[in-house]
Amino acid sequence: MESKRLARERKTVEAMIRIYCRGQHGTRAGLCAECGELLAYAHERLERCRFGADKPTCANCPVHCYRPAMRERIRAVMRYAGPRMSYRHPVLTLYHFLDSRRKPPQTGNDE
């Protein structure tokens, strides 16, 4: 079963990609193909996240499991949507801020 934490992460990344797609790609409903692909990728990474319910926010993650091209794309989304999130999604932003203060668990030397 998906934890509340992961459900929240999924919603947050989706909200940010929507803000970005609307502002940068002029999309009025849904997402453009490129952003749709990025969202699917982000959700897939979350599902496979090695930290599970204890995960740090992806921005604070010591592992950064995104492949380089996707990492660049999600960074651009965060830069653009981050400052715009707090008035669009205040509650989600607050939780995300609180989550971002969590320390990532130790991962050992497997990477």
Find the shortest distance in angstroms from Cβ 34 to ligand SF4. Answer: 20
58 binds Zn ion (CB under 5 A): no
Burial category of 108 from C-beta neighbours within 10 Å (exposed 0-12, middle 13-18, buried 19 and up): exposed
Beta-carbon contacts of residue 13 (< 8 Å; ≥ 6 apart): 39, 42, 43, 46, 58, 74
Nearest by Cα to 53 from 12, 89, 104 = 104
Q: Which of 13, 19, 35, 39 binds Zn ion (CB under 5 A)?
A: 35
Please say which residue, 22 or 102, places its beta carbon nearer to ligand SF4.
Answer: 102
* Residues contributing to the site for ligand SF4 (CB under 6 A): 45-46, 49-51, 55-56, 58, 61, 63-66
Find the shortest distance in angstroms from Cβ 44 to Zn ion. Answer: 18
Find the shortest distance in angstroms from Cβ 45 to Zn ion. Answer: 18
Give the long-range contacts of residues 63-71, CB within 8 A, separation 24 or more: 63/107, 63/111, 66/41, 70/38, 70/41, 70/42
Find the shortest distance in angstroms from Cβ 29 to ligand SF4. Answer: 28
